[in-house]
Copies of this chain bind each other. A is one copy, B any other.
């Protein structure tokens, strides 16, 4: 039985990869930079997106795809900022896939968009396996989750372009060894950028904003 599962899994992943390449081509044709935002539940994906929208809204066209098992709470928050947003409900599914993103792209104003955030389902394991067509992967780890998470969930951290260490405002009340965390993540992933931030107070977000701006400028296919 185990072999059967693995075979089907590879078939699905292969089909997903092909669909993801199609999505990326479509994003490139529209000069859009897409970032896949991944983390555990409650680490601050939506808070980061809301902060980033507020910062860039005046100068960039932004769109958001919200992935959740259920509810449209996050999409409603984004919608209040006047930004185009599609909510995907996975109905039990633990990650987004490229097929879901293709359908979402059909319903977004791509020609007006420079920057697309895809907020994945809250899950530190499965989303990393499924390419969506994104150009960059951002992983959030919040301080209350503990500094041992890269040991326990290595794939997500090894694969990230950028890691945001969120809820840094809670540091006085927690035993979180930031140096040990950074050392472990950079050991697994030497090219990763790490930004300690607080989406509550705004602390440290300038580094993330500058990184995003550089990525936007560096993208050849920008319109």
Which A residues form the contact surface with B (CB < 8 A)?
A: 1, 4-5, 8, 11-12, 15, 40-42, 68-71, 73-74, 92, 94, 121-126, 129, 142, 144-146, 148-149, 151-155, 167, 169-170, 173
- A140 and B172 alpha carbons, distance in the complex (Å): 23
- A152 and B1 alpha carbons, distance in the complex (Å): 32
With contacts A70-B154, A123-B123 known, what are 9 further pairs, Cβ within 8 A?
A5-B12, A40-B41, A41-B152, A68-B152, A70-B151, A70-B153, A71-B148, A71-B151, A122-B153
Asked, given contacts A69-B153, A70-B153, A155-B92, whether A40 binds B173 with beta carbons under 8 Å apart, the answer is no
> In the complex this chain forms, how many copies of it are found?
2
- Tell which of B1, B149, B169 touches A41, judged by Cβ atoms closer than 8 Å: B149
- Tell which of B5, B71, B126 touches A152, judged by Cβ atoms closer than 8 Å: B71
Do B125 and A92 touch (CB < 8 A)? yes
Asked, given contacts A92-B125, A94-B94, A123-B125, whether A167 binds B154 with beta carbons under 8 Å apart, the answer is no
- A41 and B156 alpha carbons, distance in the complex (Å): 13
Closest chain-B Cβ to A75's Cβ sits at a distance in Å of 11
- A23 and B126 alpha carbons, distance in the complex (Å): 27
Residues in B with CB closer than 8 Å to A167 are: 144
Do B124 and A122 touch (CB < 8 A)? yes
Residues in B with CB closer than 8 Å to A12 are: 1, 5
Residues in B with CB closer than 8 Å to A40 are: 40-42, 122, 124, 145
Residues in B with CB closer than 8 Å to A155 are: 69, 92
Do B153 and A41 touch (CB < 8 A)? yes
Closest chain-B Cβ to A2's Cβ sits at a distance in Å of 9
Do A154 and B124 touch (CB < 8 A)? no
